[in-house]
Amino acid sequence: MSLLQVSGLHTRYETNDGVLRAVDGVSFAIEAGETVGLVGESGCGKSTLGKTLVGLVPASEGEVTFDGAEISHLSPAALKPVRRRLQMIFQDPFGSLNPRQSIGQILTAPLAVHGVRSAAERRAQALAMVRRVGLPDDTLQRFPHEFSGGQRQRIGVARALILAPQLVVCDEPVSALDLSIQAQILNLLVEMKSELDLAYLFVSHDLSVVRYFADRVLVMYLGRIVESATYDTIWSRPRHPYTRALMEAVPDPLRRRTAAPLSGDLPSARNVPSGCRFHPRCPFATDLCRSADPALRSVEPGHEVACHHAEAIFAAAGATPPGAATVH
Amino acid sequence: MATTLLEVENLTVRFPRLAAVQDLSFSVGVGETLAIVGESGSGKSITALALMRLVPPPGRITGGSIRFDGRELTALPDAAMRKVRGAEIAMIFQEPMTSLNPVLTIGRQIGETVRLHEGVSRRIARARAIELLDLVRIPEPHRRVDDYPHQLSGGMRQRVMIAMAVICRPKLLIADEPTTALDVTIQAQVLALLDNLRRELSMGLLLITHDLGIVGQWADRVVVMYASRKVEEGSPDAILDAPWHPYTQGLMAASPRHAGDLHYRRTPLVEIPGSITSAFGETGCPFVPRCALAEARCREVVPPPLSLGDHLVACVRHDPFKEAADVALAG
């Protein structure tokens, strides 16, 4: 049985301009100890999906089963024991820490909520965690503004892990950090994963980070998963034109390209295009794509794609990684 | 190389308790793209503001010269400097939403700027705004001109900012992290637009970024800054394929983008330990506290920049001229 099983999940926001379908029918699973990367552009619904899984945003429809129990429609009280095992690390290490709480308060609060009665014990656990994430001992007495961005993200990691969860949703955990700090945090996440046997859902817009960090990759476009495969398959044999375009767009200093790969913007999730939602930006779109919504289907073991023409496009472009061959 | 448009020599910008930019020298040729790469705290954005003479007080330019198109900007009277800003040197910023007025249509905002600089009627200003939106490849400009900023995507807003920046056909466009807030797919579009415009309008482009990934494709030359100083300069090929400074080398190694086939289950990423704040108060090389190769002499003086051809480095362990000579003698 999978640690997390998501089926037919929808998350909708009511807005003045109509219903925004942020997550529009998503199904996938995460195994214990597995790292799943979730990539897509801003507005594709990846952050909303992460927040829906941990219960920060209510699901509109569908099921989320965590460790055998359905959790998507629980009351906050009923969700409390689940939260201990299902945690989240946020993108902005500045905005996600209360500036008026000391790091000691920030780290001991979850322990108090989850029944560690002795204050001395809470303190000891917090100190051990602070040391574990590579911060000095006096961290507990200090406040968030006294730390740099990288240090604050270490505090964010410590807060998420102090309850020893099984699954951590990481929402763009290194995007706000300088390059020289990103590697430090990624390495820390890897170390903590092997020590605590964690599973991660790693949400990011940066395919190259996901490729390094994930066992399996989900590519999301406008509320849907359009491709799912292991990290080496997605890189060597991407099937969906959107996945290929995303790869093309990654600025790579060792590859000097000349043209912008993907035209247009992500359409609004209030007004999802007919048929395949990617068709207005897709260079391969046909009448079929404009009328019929492609389902996620298996093209080889462990590799699923939602594209009517995946085989034809793949045959035409060959197994050559994007960048070597231009598919547009 | 093209005729020099901007020549900065030994520029120093000080705030009461720290030097934000020290002894910085670089040049931008007519129609050339120079990228200044550095992380937060490197001084790259203050450098951009210094070129516009817009360093926020109490900071000020305390030394060096900025020669632009035959004039010394550090000595220019305020009134004359105001004429340079916008008209001859224009600037765009990272977050277009905070630079646009949310309650005015984009046509009105572009039009006001046109009227300010060209003194034309409202009707002509509106026509010019549509022309400018077309220039920055905004589809259906005659319709978009009446949109408010919130109706546009992040990429479109940045295009509007670029349209406003090029109204007067500036000789130099400073783009401070123009694509940092945008998605990778949109980044490429905006960078391609900037690149086309600098060719069409023969502008010098000063591209300020933290992202080494974009310099290979879009820059003619690259300056790497660390903790207020230039540590390396060269062609994108030199900087990306064979960097000399331990900081540049570390940045290349630390990025998963350059890690090729690496995967977390097999290989950890190479880290640069510590953070840039450790450079504060350092009397020698600013990178010493984080440098795996540091020696005693690195702490004594700030390493002078040494160059071979157009590749320059500031590291006492690295004398490119001597190394080239050694290679020549050995061969």
The complex's ipTM works out to 0.78
List the one residue out of A155, A163, A169 whose CA is nearest residue A200: A169
* Chain A closest-CA separation from residue B264 CA (Å): 6
Chain A stretch 261-290, residues whose beta carbon is closer than 8 A to a beta carbon of chain B: 261-263, 265-266
Start-to-end Cα distance in chain B: 31
Instruction: Return the structure tokens found at A97.
Output: 């820490």
For A150, name the nearest residue in chain B, comparing CA atoms only.
B275
Distance CA A24, CA A176 (A): 27
Would the CB atoms of B183 and A42 count as touching at under 8 Å? Answer: yes
List the one residue out of B53, B6, B61, B66 whose CA is nearest residue B34: B6
Instruction: Return the structure tokens found at A304.
Output: 């699923």
For residue B324, the model assigns a pLDDT of: 67
List the one residue out of A327, A207, A312, A206 whose CA is nearest residue A262: A327
Backbone angles phi, psi at B260, to 5 degrees: 60, -120
For B257, name the nearest residue in chain A, comparing CA atoms only.
A208
Chain A stretch 91-120, residues whose beta carbon is closer than 8 A to a beta carbon of chain B: none
For residue A230, the model assigns a pLDDT of: 93
Under 8 Å between Cβ of A37 and A214: yes
**DSSP-H helix ranges across B93-227:** 96-99, 106-118, 122-135, 141-144, 154-165, 184-200, 212-218
Could you identify the residue written with the tokens 């937060």?
B40
Nearest CB to B258; choose among A207, A232, A253: A253
Report yes or no: A77 at the B interface, CB cutoff 8 Å.
no
In the DSSP assignment, the letter for residue A96 is T
Strands A224-230 and A297-300, how do they pair? unpaired
Amino acid at B166: V
Distance CA A224, CA A219 (A): 8
Would the CB atoms of A254 and B240 count as touching at under 8 Å? Answer: yes
Distance CA A305, CA A33 (A): 24
Report yes or no: A207 at the B interface, CB cutoff 8 Å.
yes
Q: What angle do CA B161, B157, A277 make, to 5 degrees?
A: 150
In the DSSP assignment, the letter for residue B304 is P
Report yes or no: A68 at the B interface, CB cutoff 8 Å.
no
State the best of A154, A174, A179 to mutate against chain B, taking most chain B CBs within 10 Å: A179
Distance CA B33, CA B205 (A): 5
What CATH architecture does domain A4-214 belong to?
3-Layer(aba) Sandwich (3.40)
Cα-to-chain-centroid distance, residue B324 = 30
For B274, name the nearest residue in chain A, comparing CA atoms only.
A181
Would the CB atoms of B213 and A250 count as touching at under 8 Å? Answer: yes
Instruction: Return the structure tokens found at A200.
Output: 């991660």
Would the CB atoms of B269 and A186 count as touching at under 8 Å? Answer: yes
Q: What angle do CA B276, B277, B279 make, to 5 degrees?
A: 75
Structural domain boundaries in chain B: 246-331
Ranges in chain A, pLDDT < 70: 251-261, 317-328
CA distances from A26 to A50, A174, A278, A295, B124 (A): 12, 25, 16, 11, 51
For B193, name the nearest residue in chain A, comparing CA atoms only.
A260
For residue B318, the model assigns a pLDDT of: 76
Could you identify the residue written with the tokens 């983008």?
B257
Structural domain boundaries in chain A: 4-214, 219-326
For A40, name the nearest residue in chain B, comparing CA atoms only.
B183
Q: What angle do CA A290, A295, A297 make, to 5 degrees?
A: 130
Instruction: Return the structure tokens found at B70.
Output: 């035959």
Distance CA B65, CA B11 (A): 6
* Chain A positions in Cβ-Cβ contact with residue B252 (cut-off 8 Å): 253
* Chain A closest-CA separation from residue B249 CA (Å): 11
Q: Strands, E, within A34-73: which ranges?
A: 35-39, 61-66, 69-70
* Chain B closest-CA separation from residue A64 CA (Å): 28
For residue B49, the model assigns a pLDDT of: 94
**DSSP-H helix ranges across chain B:** 44-51, 78-84, 96-99, 106-118, 122-135, 141-144, 154-165, 184-200, 212-218, 236-241, 246-254, 320-330
Instruction: Return the structure tokens found at A75.
Output: 């009351």
Would the CB atoms of A265 and B153 count as touching at under 8 Å? Answer: yes
Nearest CB to A256; choose among B39, B217, B273: B217
CA distances from A124 to A192, A322, B128, B262 (A): 19, 51, 67, 37
* Chain B closest-CA separation from residue A264 CA (Å): 8
For chain B, 331 residues long, give each residue's pLDDT as a single digit of tens: 568 999 999 999 999 988 999 999 999 999 999 999 998 889 999 999 999 999 999 999 999 999 999 999 999 999 999 999 989 999 998 777 778 889 999 999 999 999 988 889 999 999 999 999 999 988 889 999 999 998 888 888 889 999 999 999 999 999 998 887 777 778 888 898 999 999 999 999 999 998 888 888 899 999 999 999 999 999 999 998 889 999 999 888 887 766 567 888 888 888 888 888 888 878 899 999 999 888 898 999 899 988 888 899 999 887 766 666 666 666 5
Would the CB atoms of B155 and A265 count as touching at under 8 Å? Answer: yes
